[in-house]
Each structure stands twice: as structure tokens, then as C-alpha cells.
A = this chain, B = another copy of it.
Amino acid sequence: MPIGPVARQSVADQVFDQLLRSILTGEEGPGTQLPPERELAVQAGVNRQAVREALQRLRQMGLVEIVHGGGITVNDWRTSAGLALLPMLVVAHETAVDPVVSRSIMELRAVIGADAARWCATRSPEGTAEVLNGIVGQMEGLGGDFSRWGMLGYSYWDAIVAGADNVAYLLAYNTLREVAGALALADRMAPSLLEREWRQTGLYRDLAKAIGAGDAEASGRIAGELLGAGVAAVNEWLASLPADRGGR
């Protein structure tokens, strides 16, 4: 039995996590002032530099505002944080993944993936369709080995997004891939939600063909169908839950 890599978190990372958590949970609401750096340092029992690194990272994410000599103010992350916060929203309450967050992720994935496929059909360089077909071939090859499907799915959509010639899609998709990792770690349910999507190998091949033919309309439609399955699965999951799970 192989052992995995040991998670080693630096002191600054731990401070970052603690502050992030207290902001996301609302313990430190928007507009409130954080304690001074020096006090945070003694509270955490660490050096001031570690606190500073954490605070600068929070600032970069838009979660706090720091003014020289004026203290640190907590922002409202709903209006000032960027997409980079998404992976951390998933991990923030580590007991279970917020279904609304999951749905958000799947919807964003679907809407970007579908449009990327549309553009990929007309803007992608030569050879993209061949790459996609190769991946589909591998998919068909490994019948039930579910553990490797995920990787192939990533490569498939990676190729499409790369072929869409849209940096914004590319970057957003990178964030989404990171989120997927956090999702899979935090919640065992997520993979099974995706399962029905993975199974549709036929559509994967159709999509590759449509992209190879340069048919934007068909590509967008098939990709939407493919990715819509994941959205539908999350929605069903959401509907099956008691009504009290709807926060954030």
C-alpha cells in the first residue's frame, strides 16, 4: 500500500486559513476591523511576518482592505472577492459541501464548456479533433475503471478550452479544475454525481466529430447536453435535500 504525500502547512498558511475561515463564516462581518497585526501575531503565537504574509494574500483576494496606519477592514466577499475564492468556499466548511455552491460550480462549468466547444469548432488549430478522438478512444478502452475517467475528462475539456482561443475561459477553467479537486476530496458524493456524465462516451465522440467538422452550432449543442447532465444531477441532489440546506 503506497503512502501519499504528507500535507505540510506553513505557519503563514495556517494563519491565512484561520482568518479566511473567520471571514467566510461571518464571524468577522463586512466592515469590522481586524485586530492589529501585532496583536494577531501574539494571538496566533507566531511572528508578525507570518501574519503579514497571510494578510497580504487576503488583500490580494479582495477579502480585506489594508491602509497604512489605518488598520485592516473586512470586505464583503460577495461583492469584492474574485473567482479564486471558489475553491476555498468549498473547503471552508469541511464537513459537507454546500449544495448551492456545488450547483454554482456545475453551472459555470457547463456554460463555459458549451461556449468553448462552440468556438473551438471554428477557432481551434489543426489537430484538435484528432486529440479529442484519441482521448475518446482511451475512454472507450478502459471500460469500468472509473478512477481514470476523471483524468481523461479533464484532458478532453482542457483540449476544447485551449482550442477556443479565449484566455478568460482558460483561466476560469483552471480555477474550476482546482475546485473539482477540492470537491472530490471534501465530498464523496461528487464523483457519483458526475458519473452519468462520464458515461456518455457516445456524445463525447459526437462532439469531437462536430468540432472536427467545424460545426459550431452542433458542438455547442452537444457540449451543452453533455455538461447539462452534471447540472441536472446536482439539481436532483439539491431537490432531495431538506429545505433547511440553502444558506450562503
Contacts and interface: CB of A to CB of B under 8 A. Distances in A.
Nearest to A170: B78
Copies of this chain in its oligomeric complex: 2
A21 B167 CA distance: 17
Contacts of A170: 78
10 contacts: A49-B49, A83-B174, A84-B84, A86-B171, A100-B165, A100-B167, A108-B166, A108-B168, A108-B172, A167-B248
B175 A101 contact: no
B49 A83 contact: no
Contact of A56 (B53, B166, B172, B178): B53
A172 B174 contact: no
Interface in A99-118: 100-101, 103-105, 107-108, 111-112, 115
Given A60-B84, A78-B170, A82-B178, 12 more contacts: A52-B53, A62-B174, A82-B172, A83-B174, A83-B175, A84-B171, A104-B168, A107-B166, A108-B168, A108-B172, A111-B111, A111-B112
Question: Secondary structure at chain A's binding surface: helix, strand, loop or mixed?
Answer: helix
Given A112-B111, A115-B111, A174-B79, A169 B56 contact: no
Contacts of A85: 171
A178 to B, nearest CB: 7
Contacts of A101: 167-168
Nearest to A176: B168
Contacts of A169: 104, 107-108
Given A62-B174, A166-B103, A166-B104, A12 B83 contact: no
Contact of A107 (B52, B60, B80, B115): B115
Contacts of A119: 107
Interface residues of A, number: 46
Interface in A152-187: 158, 162, 165-172, 174-175, 178
A199 interface: no
A81 interface: yes
B171 A83 contact: yes
A221 interface: no
